Amino acid sequence: MFGFNKSADSAFQNLTPAKFAEGLRQPDAVLVDVRRPEEFAQGHLPGAVNIEVTAPDFAQRVASLDKEAPTYVYCRSGARSASAAGQLTQAGFANVSNLLGGVLDWTEPLTTK
């Protein structure tokens, strides 16, 4: 259903902001902001959990997530989240999507709550 921009060498999907937002409407979707905590505090997508991809405990923290749930990751520009998406798929996550362009290309309001 959301298989756009999935390359042959990538196990995750790269989605435009519109398609990413569409995917987030799934009731069991998990949204992960992989930026640093201070970036997250300045504004993030509503409902996101912050698990910094460069933190030493990233693998340990994502292990607590449901590997079968559609998992959506994003960062500032899409580079760190692409790395995180690769790590998640290698860890056995079945359905991972990366936000192309990150929050820089996100057009909907961010929240600080």
What whole-number distance in Å separates Cα of residue 2 and Cα of residue 52?
A: 25
| DSSP 3-state of 64 | coil
Spot the catalytic one: 75, 84, 96, 103: 75
70, 23 contact by CB (below 8 A) = yes
Q: Is 75 a catalytic residue?
A: yes
What whole-number distance in Å separates Cα of residue 27 and Cα of residue 5?
A: 23
Q: Which two tokens stand for residue 88?
A: 């998640």
Catalytic positions: 75
